[in-house]
Chains A and B, each alone.
Chain A
């Protein structure tokens, strides 16, 4: 009879032991893959008419750069500014504004540029109406 008691004890012990490993709920976070977060948010612009008749435009924006992981920061070379679909020289990744000179309406899009010449998702288009 004691054998059955012993066996039942063993099975109970094994049953409780089996709950040792549980699924971890750690979900990796990548802010660039979160559709509820905008990577770039245009905050506004200033357009000043210069004596030469060309507007000096300064566009201000905010980015999630400071919220990125160190690995991501290390890989980002800068922010690529798309001007009416054309590519401009990249600006520093921590920049929060850029300037431009124009006489007509311009639309801008922004994206992070990596050292491998890859780009993140484009921001919403922001147009400067003059």
Chain B
């Protein structure tokens, strides 16, 4: 009975002391970027479980606050939490990590290369379409066909002529049509040669460019970031916002 009384007294004293001497303060964080990882005094804080503003209860005293976000350097700050007081802390990450800067440079290069490739293919496509339209028109041979038709009509006209005047006039028309047609043939052949060469060259060039692009396909850089806050120490005793229901915390 005496021992039980002593034990009760000891427990009461411990509880009473912890209530009086282990007082807490509140720390309200405003972090930019908002999805940053925050570590306070070695414990990872999950800010997503803390309502806005990110206010958490902390034991009175000095605390080391570390903030990290992907692509940034760790930003550290020491704060002091006072009893029954609210401490506001604004922290913004603005120092990019060297690795991230390299990644960004590579990403810019990648986008530039892709743009260049797309422009190249776009240009070649436009050239191909233009040359195809030109070649189709040449192969249809509207000019030579018009000349042919005119010549055929002139031939028929001449062949059906009877009177002397008619013969003279239609002979002249036929000779004119024949001259035009004969002049048109080498022009048409040149156009055919140019169109064929152009179309083969253009499609060949496009094919070559596609093969070249396939071979030299740029790889999109990937930024593999390692969260240094997680690696430093496992968040076994991660702080939660307002962890203590009674507004007190006991740190052993």
Residues of chain A whose beta carbon lies under 8 Å from any beta carbon of chain B: 3, 6-7, 10-11, 13-15, 17-23, 26, 28-30, 32-33, 69, 71-72, 75-76, 112, 114, 118-121
- In the complex, are the beta carbons of B159 and A30 less than 8 A apart? yes
B159 touches A29 (CB 8 A): yes
Q: How many A-B residue pairs have CB under 8 A?
A: 80
- Any chain A CB within 8 A of the CB of B144? yes
The 7 closest A-B pairs by CB, nearest first: A118-B163, A71-B160, A28-B155, A18-B193, A18-B189, A14-B197, A14-B193
CB distance from A103 to the nearest CB of B (A): 34
- Interface 9-mer from B2-10, B166-174, B223-231: B166-174
Chain A residues with CB under 8 Å of B193's CB are: 14-15, 17-18
Majority secondary structure, A binding face = mixed
In the bound complex, CA of A86 to CA of B150 (Å): 40
Q: Are A69 and B159 in contact (CB under 8 A)?
A: yes
Q: Are the CB atoms of B162 and A72 closer together than 8 Å?
A: yes
With A11-B197, A17-B192, A28-B174 known, 17 other A-B pairs at CB within 8 A are A7-B201, A10-B204, A14-B194, A15-B193, A17-B193, A17-B196, A18-B193, A19-B189, A22-B185, A23-B185, A71-B156, A75-B160, A75-B162, A76-B162, A118-B165, A119-B164, A120-B163
Chain B contacts to A: CB under 8 angstroms: 144, 155-156, 158-167, 171, 174, 181-182, 185, 188-190, 192-194, 196-197, 200-201, 204, 208
| Cβ distance B156 to chain A, nearest Cβ, rounded Å | 8
Residues of A within 8 A of B158 (CB): 28, 30, 33
A23 to chain B: which residues have CB within 8 Å?
A: 181-182, 185
Docked Cα-Cα span, A76 to B166, in Å, equals 14
Contacts of B165 in A (CB 8 A): 118
Q: Is the CB of B190 within 8 A of A10?
A: no
Contacts of B167 in A (CB 8 A): 30, 32-33
CA distance A21 to B14 in the complex (A): 113
Of all chain B residues, the one with the shortest Cβ separation from A20 is B192
**A3 and B198 alpha carbons, distance in the complex (Å):** 15
Contact, CB under 8 Å: A30 / B144: no
A contact residues around B155 at 8 Å (CB): 26, 28
Residues in chain B near residue A120, CB distance under 8 A = 162-164
In the complex, what distance in Å separates the CA atom of A76 from the CA atom of B160? 10
Q: Which residues of B contact A15 (CB under 8 A)?
A: 193
Residues of A with C-beta under 8 A to B144: 21
**Contact status A121-B164, CB under 8 Å:** yes
Q: Which of A7, A22, A71, A119 contacts B163 (CB 8 A)?
A: A119
